[in-house]
Amino acid sequence: MADTPNIPDIQAQESMWIEIIRHMEFFYAQLAEAQAEAERRAEELGQAKALADNIIASISEGLIALDAAGRITLVNGAAERLLDYPHGELPGLSLESLVPEDSRPAWTWRALRRRLLRQSPLPDEETVWRDRRGREIPVGVSGAALQGERGEAAGAVLVLRDLRETRRLQAQLIQAAKMSSLGRLAAGVAHELNNPLGGILLYADLLMEDTAPDDPRRRNVVRIAEQAVRCRDIVRGLLDFGRPAEPRAARVDVNAVLRNAMSILEGQEMFHNVAVHWSLADPAPCLSGDAGLLGQAFTNIILNAVEALEGTGALTIGSEPGPDGQGALVTIADTGRGMPPQDREHLFEPFFTTKEKGTGLGLSITYGIIERHNGTVEVVSEVGRGTTFRVTLLSMSPEGDDADG
């Protein structure tokens, strides 16, 4: 009887299988649905990530994300450009490797994390970072703490603002303000000295006339006159700096001014072992200005350049059209002794000189002339390597913007 299956049993088994299959079908349908949902989510996630990447990449400010150990995990293109790193080389580096010693105490990861615990986001702070080659970059940095899913500290995100252009403009403004007050002071003093000096010269001449050629005192009188002439030249220089001689605007061919200045200078002995390289724009940049004054300005720069060569080296004189095709950009570069930053700061001040027989007036006069042509001058110098003057000239302002007596 064991081998005769009993009917109700078979029926029960059958319905159990049917039940199982029905469950399985249901289960598979749910699985397919879940899979479709997962695919949809993945696609959404992909789109959201692409959008986020796009936003991060297109922010003009530098963006740096740090993990909980202060290592860089993510940067955008602006940060790479600002810090001069090739694409992909920043992730993995520590925060400290972007910060020079001087900025360290505040910008180590420990210090930053501590500050972010107290305050997040951190307000923008101006500091100095360094790029891949160790050059210092002024930046504004703001930051916020990143939190993990359970609220734990998971790192930070920093936003970097490039302050180089701002700093350059600030320096230019300070320089312009300084020069204009120095100019006024110098012109005032020179004015006051001019009359008594004229008197000294006049009476020295009279005294000379009254002194017989073989009189032993005559030598002293000559000395007085010579020194007075030297004073008068200095005073003239000062007056030029404060108020360059009445300029006359005409169409000026900048190349011609440069060639002319050099043709007067190059006969001098100090030029004999100097290799002069020309790179003049063709056609020549032209502007409305005073050729005589501009010649004087370039002469001063060229003389300094050759003096810095101390005998031998290269002098490069170049011209090109100015920014936006307006005016001219003149570059005068030497491979001479260069100057330390502290000299660079005072370069254009009257009487600043490092030379035994210098007057320190050349560049202050040059500055005044460049200003009259609505120009700017930029100087890059490295001790032992040389100096480059980049003079941008526009056109001279119309008559009378400061044509007082």
Residues of the shown chain interacting with ligand ADP in the complex, contacts defined by CB under 6 A: 300, 304-305, 308, 334, 336-339, 343, 347, 352-355, 358-364, 387
Is residue 305 within 8 Å of residue 387, measured between CB atoms?
A: yes
* Nearest approach, Cβ of residue 380 and ligand ADP (Å): 11
Closer Cβ to ligand ADP, 95 or 329, answer by number: 329
332 binds, among Mg ion, ligand ADP, none (CB under 5 to 8 A by kind): none
The H or E element spanning position 288 is strand 286-289
What span, in angstroms and rounded, lies between the C-alpha atoms of 322 and 319? 9
Q: Give the pairing of strands 274-279 and 313-321.
A: parallel
**Nearest to 158, CA basis, from 98, 84, 89:** 98
* Nearest approach, Cβ of residue 315 and ligand ADP (Å): 9
Structure-block tokens of residue 263: 């043709």
What span, in angstroms and rounded, lies between the C-alpha atoms of 189 and 183? 10
360 binds, among ligand ADP, Mg ion, none (CB under 5 to 8 A by kind): ligand ADP
Closer Cβ to Mg ion, 284 or 303, answer by number: 303
Closer Cβ to ligand ADP, 98 or 363, answer by number: 363
352 binds, among Mg ion, ligand ADP, none (CB under 5 to 8 A by kind): ligand ADP
What span, in angstroms and rounded, lies between the C-alpha atoms of 69 and 156? 10
Closer Cβ to ligand ADP, 205 or 343, answer by number: 343
CB atoms within 10 A of CB 255: 20
Q: 3-state class of 331 per DSSP?
A: strand
What span, in angstroms and rounded, lies between the C-alpha atoms of 178 and 131? 31
Closer Cβ to Mg ion, 242 or 362, answer by number: 362
What span, in angstroms and rounded, lies between the C-alpha atoms of 235 and 305? 24
Q: 3-state class of 286 per DSSP?
A: strand
Cis peptide before 283 (omega within 30 of 0): yes
**Nearest to 57, CA basis, from 31, 35, 75, 41:** 75
Any contact of residue 336 with Mg ion (CB under 5 A)?
no
* Nearest approach, Cβ of residue 304 and ligand ADP (Å): 3
Closer Cβ to ligand ADP, 115 or 346, answer by number: 346
* Nearest approach, Cβ of residue 391 and ligand ADP (Å): 13
Residues in the interface with Mg ion (CB under 5 A) total 2
Site for Mg ion in 110-129 (CB under 5 A): none
* Nearest approach, Cβ of residue 204 and ligand ADP (Å): 26
Q: Give the pairing of strands 250-253 and 286-289.
A: antiparallel
Structure-block tokens of residue 281: 């724009």
Closer Cβ to ligand ADP, 129 or 348, answer by number: 348
Closer Cβ to ligand ADP, 312 or 354, answer by number: 354
Site for Mg ion in 297-326 (CB under 5 A): 304
- Helices 218-242 and 362-372: crossing angle in degrees, nearest 10, is 30
Place of tokens 């000096």: 197
Using CB under 5 A as the criterion, what x/- string covers residues 274-293 for binding Mg ion? --------------------
Closer Cβ to ligand ADP, 113 or 243, answer by number: 243
* Nearest approach, Cβ of residue 269 and Mg ion (Å): 17
Vertex 171 angle, CA 166 and 176, to 5°: 125
Segment interacting with Mg ion, rule: CB under 5 A, options 78-86, 195-203, 296-304, 314-322: 296-304
* Nearest approach, Cβ of residue 300 and ligand ADP (Å): 6
Site for Mg ion in 211-240 (CB under 5 A): none
Structure-block tokens of residue 129: 């970072």
Any contact of residue 362 with Mg ion (CB under 5 A)?
yes
* Nearest approach, Cβ of residue 279 and ligand ADP (Å): 18
What span, in angstroms and rounded, lies between the C-alpha atoms of 15 and 20? 9
294 binds, among ligand ADP, Mg ion, none (CB under 5 to 8 A by kind): none
Site for Mg ion in 33-62 (CB under 5 A): none
Q: Alpha carbon of 79 to those of 108, 110, 141: distances in Å?
A: 18, 22, 12
The footprint of Mg ion (CB under 5 A) covers: 304, 362
